[in-house]
Structure 1
């Protein structure tokens, strides 16, 4: 079957490690099902996988990648048709509940450790990982949800616990999680502010429902109940100062680095702020997100859709950072 995969790792020139071509069909396993992939979406960890940083059980954990893991089909998000003809979306953490694991296997995302990914004509997953796709969503739209959009959903409604009428700041608009957070928050009746260093992205944020969109680091018109941050060190201080007393900062990434200049612990304890982390979401949250999109008409923001045999173009665009929303591959 045709696939896009990491043939090796190259920390300096990751795109040189990406190859497109034939890979073996997924092996049959008891309690698993084969899904014919119709659409799959890219996430930044797919690019990091080519450097070796995200092929271990926990992305960027420093766990050494072994030769046995390569070649590895990339991709963790997909929608397709299962063996019974059902339209489905994949929850991308294999073994999250222990279901479907072998004796020497540990829970991990698709395209990590033992589990080949979704940038292929077919992928095999435990039956537990299959979630019905609402008929209202296209395969391309549904394929955007299991990582970036699910992370944003969990950050807003589980970790921050925000309610309609409250306010939220989304740092670094343009990326998958930040874009999702703006759309979901606006649809849920929240007052949304967004930041970016790119004027075009700020304009798009307003079009998606942000009440205000500002240059990164700008003082907001008022403090907010929650901050959604995937940027890390560069926005840490601004995120904390933007919170109301008792507010919540939720972090899902550190694209600007992991070590802020100052921890500002005094601000955290004095204003009784909460700091929470998020690395995705549960199968139940994915089902809720799918139903939310189907019921409200909310749809993922898609930057571009390319066929699988043009996957290299999508990886190049992600590496340059010029996209707004999700990059989708169709099979």
Structure 2
């Protein structure tokens, strides 16, 4: 399978006898690990997965000498990249520019990359880099409307098409590492994982990134913004996922304690955040029941483990069993 966005074209090892280029690597195997190059001085492995227009890639690099890896970028694109493992920073730059950037261990970065050749430099050691080529429609079609700051940065960089620009750098905190670890495990064990689940986890990372930027700029979230973002996440996940939305996961996505989030929501709206979650979930349950006329299907779509749990939830919220609700519903609600 030929990659649509970029591929490794050459590796140069700085040996005593001079640079030794490897062969050009142009093929990728989706959903599998591939050995790109292997000898006593350098080992490069790639894991690549393409789902629609979303690409996930992971590079394991072990080098015994100073090494440069060159990538051909076929079209302008946006990346979310993590330096998961390694004791030394990775240097990277663009062939047409003398400017270089440092990518420290255990940090993440958003990159806008024009059509170019990227040079990545490694000191002797072991490295693990995990990246995602974000689909254009994720940003341009407003799926993540809260992240206009990222769109602005990308738009600014597009005015300088020959410059390679590190858009946003941030520390891979405990929360980001957890999300990335879970996502990497899912990608490795489930090559056909639904795209929406990947995008939802990337959305979590975007929220954490935005949080880091605001803290760095001393623009700490005020309580209203925190609870508004929590409500947005709850409603989006209930609408887009068949998993049961849990408040602790929402709090983790916003990088705050669940108890603090609950306190802020109660102060702002006068009701528990769990009650708001239940209100949104009940809306979905009613729509599912009216559309499918099936308690079993509604149980699955709403994220409950069994019909008994779903029926108990529905009756507690409405005073009616799902069956009674269906019998009393003659026309769709407004």
Please, what TM-score do these two structures have when normalized by structure 2? 0.23
Structure whose residues are more often helix by fraction: 2
Larger Rg belongs to: 2
Please, what TM-score do these two structures have when normalized by structure 1? 0.23
